[in-house]
Amino acid sequence: MGTYQQTVVDLEATGEEAAALGEHAGRWLETEGFIRPVPWRGEVVHLAGPRWREAVDLVPWDWRARIKDLEQEPGGPFEIVAGRTVFHSSLSESPAAVCPHCRNTDPTWPGEAVDTWYATGSADLDCPACARRAPLAHWDWTGDSLALAHLGFRFDDWPPLHPDFIVALGRTLGHRIRVFACKI
């Protein structure tokens, strides 16, 4: 079994603004009815709200799409991930870094730079093709499989998020975003 996770990652939020921006987007999601707060074990978790169906793309084979007035919602919680995080999709191999300047792909895993970024929030990487240096967080990764960022929105066991919903969340954030999906 496992949990199917989709994470919408803000690629531009800084460490300083991540918590406030996450709260802002969380309030928007709640106000729009996509999520709702639920008290649980002395804390509050966020589950699907009354408009959750508008946030997802229910494909015909999904059993929830075949039952017209089904009240059951996605099974998992929603979580705001604010703080230095290496977000990823399901990875079978180490992704290759893609230079933001020349778009060259470097298959050498920059483990030391990733560790430095995770520990300090800052690390640079040199491109072996064009010899230009760029902050590690500005590099892309093959297959859009990795992002070093400070803010993400995780949906556990929700159907695939609808592209229009993803665009609306990106507009609310005012930043470039990327969606990562994986099964854990």
Mean pLDDT per 10-residue segment, the chain (184 residues): 85 94 97 93 89 82 54 77 90 80 92 93 94 92 87 93 96 94 80
pTM for this model (two decimals): 0.86
Q: Which two tokens stand for residue 127?
A: 């491109």
pLDDT of residue 133: 95
pLDDT of residue 42: 84
pLDDT of residue 62: 56
pLDDT of residue 109: 87
* Nearby residues of 86 by Cβ (< 8 Å), 6 or more positions away: 114, 118, 146, 147, 148
pLDDT of residue 1: 58
pLDDT of residue 90: 72
pLDDT of residue 66: 52
